[in-house]
Copies of this chain bind each other. A is one copy, B any other.
């Protein structure tokens, strides 16, 4: 059950968060990692972020766009639909949690 004052580690939300972040603007991997660091407190390792991106790509939710040294990830229309659906589930699930 993790550290002393934690009831869960909130796994299983990474893809959702990534999709959400990419819906705000297209980003490359390190940018996503940085944003996640601000939100979660710890920076996800490359072994976390890139497999997640790969899975999202294979699901057709994001696509890549080479940009010099880096790769820009952005949502596909299908990814937007998936985010919309997941967001609804999320909101229904956590009604009232926001203080």
Contacts and interface: CB of A to CB of B under 8 A. Distances in A.
A7 B83 contact: yes
Interface in A1-58: 1, 4-17, 19-20, 24, 39-41, 55-56, 58
Q: Mostly helix, strand, loop or mixed at chain A's interface?
A: helix
Copies in the complex: 2
Nearest to A78: B5
A46 B7 CA distance: 19
Given A12-B13, A98-B98, A99-B87, A7 B56 contact: yes
Interface of A: 1, 4-17, 19-20, 24, 39-41, 55-56, 58-59, 61, 79, 81-83, 85-87, 89-99
